[in-house]
Amino acid sequence: MDSFEFNKIAAAVLVTILVVIGINEIASELFHVEKPKQSAYKIEGVEVKAGAQTETAKEEEKLTLITPLLASASIDAGKNVFKKCAACHSVDKAGPNKIGPALWGVVNKKVGSHEGFKYSSTLQGYGKNWTFEELNGFLNQPMKYLKGTKMGFAGLRKDSDRANVIAYLNSLSDSPAPLK
């Protein structure tokens, strides 16, 4: 092989290497995807972060019993918390169903039993009553507590918010259940 031919081969190899590197560079520029720093959507009251699954599972285990907190709960504060619910629920006696069922007299009533409301099959088939503790679990994380519910609400994660709003729900009755 003369040196001219050797140079030609060397040049060809070099060009090939440069082309391959070049294509790689361009490709990674073109197809580089920035990972978003934050999730694209955020639901009020719910923190979306890595490992959230396991954390909430732990939280669920230690969900505070609400009944002892009700003795010192405030109906007025609960009325205020209920502003988050009012778009979907009426509270008056014989109030109308809205996006959600009317809530007058809901405490200790059978789940999914308000006349004229079309419940999800989840609520329809649950079979229990809305005791204070059932309300506590549901209102903490509705869609987790009763998978398949169509109540599109993230939940009230503060014990005091749930205690107050449950005390308020309990007051929506001709004969409210005793709180202590």
Positions touching ligand HEC (CB under 6 A) are 84-85, 87-89, 99-101, 103, 106, 111-112, 114, 119-120, 122-123, 130, 135, 139, 149-153, 156, 165
Closer CB to ligand HEC, 8 or 42, in the complex = 42
* Nearest to 75, CA basis, from 179, 174, 153: 179
Tokens for 145, please give them: 């507590």
Task: For the CB of residue 170, give the shortest distance to ligand HEC in the complex, in Å.
Answer: 11
Nearest approach in angstroms of CB 67 to ligand HEC is: 16
Instruction: Quote the least distance from Cβ 36 to ligand HEC, whole Å.
Output: 26
Distance in angstroms (rounded) separating the CA atoms of residues 73 and 70: 5
Amino acid identity of residue 13, one-letter, is V
What is d(CA 123, CA 26) in angstroms, rounded to the nearest whole number?
55
Nearer to ligand HEC (CB atom), residue 72 or residue 124: 124
CA distance 89 to 96: 8
Judged by CB, which is closer to ligand HEC: 16, or 64?
Answer: 64
